Amino acid sequence: MNGRRAITGLCMLCALLASAFAAQGASAAGTTAYTCAAGSGPGFSDAHCKTAVGSGSFVHKSIANGTTTELTGSNETTGGATQNTVLKATVAGSVFSLTATTSSASGWMTNAEEGGEMYAHGDGTATKTGVTSTGGCKVFTDNHPAGTKGEEGVVHTEPIKGTTKGQGDAVKFEPTEGTVFARFILEGCTNSGLNGTYTVTGSVKSTTIEGATVNFTHADTTNQGTLKINGTIKAGIEGTVTFKSRLNNTQSYTALSATT
């Protein structure tokens, strides 16, 4: 369960950064980020800059290279609905999944250019709550390095960095330092082989972005083969995250839009 949360937290952060990173730059090859702001003319019909129209009420606003932008994210999709985040893997011979109903993330990003390539990069963390699991497990935060149980049904990720540099249309996410995305503890599982302490390691990429909403599918993230539980168990995530940004705390958050 906590394992799911950890992955969910990862998914949340990935979505957050992916939404920021996937817009096409205008002056050089590569990808840069834009905000979605109120405006008139050729643009979008919605505040998430998802649906392009000839004359809209929202437009893309560029973010200057080197300007740090604050990010926040949730699992609220366009229109206000929410979508669960799910982590799936085969553990102890059983197909296992964790489902989180609430996701929150925060961090920062900035655009840059190097060697003729436009790219975006950033850093942040995520928290998952309201997590349930198959197998009747209870999930707890692993208070590392003490290894003691923390909050039930809550997992906090380690700092995670994301970049589009050298990734084409994708954005890559990995731990800012070391290899661990998150740690969690499972207890009370019907299959006792699932009980124990877990780490989520490796890296993951996202390519599916619609305006301010980033989507992850289990098939795509599993096929990448780079996200692991306890170093050897291949895992996948699915879910949706929508992001907002602001330049500083004197401003309101607006949707962080992405185009490809």
pLDDT digits (tens, 9 = 90+) for 30-55: 667 788 888 888 889 988 888 889 89
3-state secondary structure of 52: strand
As a whole number, the mean pLDDT across the chain is 81
Give yes or no for residue 176 having a pLDDT over 90. Answer: yes
Handedness of CA 65, 70, 73, 78 (dihedral sign): negative
Q: Which residues, 6 or more positions from 212, have their beta carbon under 8 angstroms from its beta carbon? A: 19, 36, 48, 49, 50, 78, 242, 243, 244, 255, 256, 257, 258
Among the listed residues 129, 131, 18, 88, the one whose alpha carbon sits nearest the alpha carbon of residue 229: 88
Q: Which residues, in sequence order, are CB contacts of 168 under 8 Å at separation 6+?
A: none
The amino acid at 143: N
For 206-246, the pLDDT digits (tens) are: 777 777 777 788 889 899 999 999 889 999 888 877 778 88
Q: What is the mean pLDDT of residues 11-29?
A: 47
Q: Is the pLDDT reported for residue 138 higher than 70?
A: yes
- Encode burial over 153-182: b for 16+ CB neighbours within 10 A, e otherwise: bbbbbbebbbbbbebeebbbbbbeeeeebb
State the pLDDT confidence band at 6, using cuts at 50, 70 and 90.
very low
3-state secondary structure of 209: strand
pTM over 0.75: yes
CA quadruple 223, 4, 212, 246: dihedral, nearest 10: -130
Q: What is d(CA 23, CA 119) in angstroms, rounded to the nearest whole number? A: 9
